[in-house]
């Protein structure tokens, strides 16, 4: 499948056709590992490290990697961007999805890729405190840091859709979603 190819190539863009008019596209980053945590104005943020995308982002020359992230910063891994950590611990366990916002700046990414030719590191603040706890537990108990972890990046800034989502959460009972949205297996 397309996703298997992306995982095999250590990341890439997923493009899915939903029907004749709609498509979905997002970036997939593989081999996710957790780094240090820090407390900042957005709350608790975790270092998330993953494979660099193919092409100039994996160049042997540091200046080409930095130039890539400088030019890609308006489209990829931008501060305030929405990401999802998909974590599947065991083959029999369903994957869990944890949403968060990128808190690192383009300068942070560029500083990291100067020293690493095939990895990228960002800081992410997750929405759910249970996600924070699950990640902290992997620091204390490394045997819990198992399974497959991939990071999905939405091509939108969370801040641009926040007012819409907050309005929906406050007025959800007044909007007849059940007539228009159907849960499908």
Model confidence at 23: pLDDT above 90? no
Q: Give me the mean pLDDT over the 91-111 stretch.
A: 89
Side-chain half-sphere CA neighbours of 166 within 13 A: 6
Least confident span in 34-48, 56-70, 149-163: 149-163
In this model, does residue 16 exceed pLDDT 90? no
Of 35-39, 69-73, 120-124, highest mean pLDDT: 120-124
- Please tell me which of 6-20, 73-87, 118-132 the model is most confident about, judged by mean pLDDT: 118-132
pLDDT band at 51 (very low <50, low <70, confident <90, very high): very high
Which helix (H) or strand (E) segment holds residue 119: the answer is strand 119-126
Instruction: Report whether 69 contacts 57 (CB < 8 A).
Output: yes
Inform me whether the pLDDT recorded for 6 exceeds 90.
no
pLDDT in tens, 154-177: 777 667 676 766 666 666 566 555
Q: CA-CA-CA-CA torsion for 18, 131, 4, 113, nearest 10 degrees?
A: 110
């Amino acid at each position: 499948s397309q996703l298997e190819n992306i995982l095999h190539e250590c990341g890439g863009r997923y493009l899915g056709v939903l029907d004749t008019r709609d498509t979905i596209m997002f970036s997939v980053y593989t081999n996710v590992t957790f780094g240090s945590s820090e407390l900042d104005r957005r709350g608790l943020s975790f270092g998330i490290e993953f494979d660099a995308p193919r092409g100039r982002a994996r160049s042997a020359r540091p200046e080409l990697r930095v130039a890539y992230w400088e030019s890609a910063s308006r489209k990829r891994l931008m501060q305030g961007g929405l990401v999802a950590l998909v974590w599947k611990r065991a083959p029999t366990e369903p994957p869990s999805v944890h949403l968060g916002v990128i808190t690192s700046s383009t300068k942070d990414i560029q500083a990291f890729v100067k020293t690493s030719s095939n990895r990228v590191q960002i800081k992410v603040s997750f929405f759910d405190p249970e996600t924070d706890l699950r990640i902290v537990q992997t620091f204390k108990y490394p045997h819990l840091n198992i399974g497959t972890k991939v990071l999905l990046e939405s091509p939108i800034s969370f801040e641009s859709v926040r007012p819409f989502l907050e309005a929906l959460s406050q007025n959800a009972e007044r909007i007849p979603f059940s007539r228009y949205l159907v849960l499908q297996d």
